[in-house]
Structure 1
Amino acid sequence: MTEEQSLEILEHIAAAYDHFKLSEKRVNVWSEQLKNMDFKGVLHNLNKHIGTKKFPPTIADIAAKLPEKNKFLEEQKDWRQEVQHARASGNQKTFMDYLSPDIKAKYQPLIQEEK
């Protein structure tokens, strides 16, 4: 979340709760905490809070963490692209060809049994 978005959240709270006063210290503390959060999620949580609570929220009341990227899926996508590129260039390797030498050596007796 940007500093402008953090300020928008604070202004939203101040508009809904008369006794929520903005100060430089409050803006700094909230901005620091909100910077790693999802703006839309925080705004959604804030609107829910305003509709049900008579006191202003704490940061924890409206927190909305950014979803973490799934590195496994990204690696899987990269691997598939590499395989497609290799196949397009005429390389017809099998699954076994992509195994590391130590894995191949470990399972060599099983591989030979299948042949």
Structure 2
Amino acid sequence: MTREEAIQVLKTIENFYPKYKLTNEKASLLIPFLLPMDYQGVLYKLSQFVAAHAFAPTLAEIAVYPKVPNTYLDNLKKWEEEASQVPLETKRKFNQQLERLLKEKAYHEHS
């Protein structure tokens, strides 16, 4: 959200809730919290809030943040593709070495 959009959100709250007085001090305090939010999402939640509540919302009640892309699944697919190209013999040797290492570690911990 831009600074201008954040100001517009606060002015919209003031327009719907006459007892909510928007001062420069209040705007200066609230704008930094609005900036990382999604403008359209906040407006939608604000319109829903206005229809149901007689008192002005807190920022938490109208907050909507942009979706952060989840790269975990993309990375997982990439790793699976890479793993599928590793020869079976290499995988077998790796598993044998891993088992041997785990047995050695377990033996040393119990000694």
Normalising by the smaller structure, the TM-score range is: 0.5 to 0.7
Deviation string 1:80-100 (CA, Å, 9 cap, x unpaired) is 8x96xxxxxxxxx4465997x
Over the residues paired in the alignment, what is the CA RMSD in angstroms?
3.0
- Structure 1: gaps (5+ residues): 84-92, 108-115
- Corresponding residue number in structure 2 for 1:21: 21
User: 1: CA distance between counterparts of 2:90 and 2:72?
Assistant: 18
Identity of aligned residues (%): 26
C-alpha distance in 1, partners of 2:4/2:89?
A: 53
Give distance in 1, aligned partners of 2:74 and 2:86. Answer: 22
Other structure's SS at 1:7 match:
helix
Give 1:73 shift: 3.0
Q: Which residue in the other structure is 2:102 paired with? A: none
Q: TM-score, normalised by structure 2?
A: 0.66
Distance change (3 Å), C-alpha of 1:11 and 1:76? same
Alignment length, in residue pairs? 97
TM-score, normalised via structure 1 length: 0.64
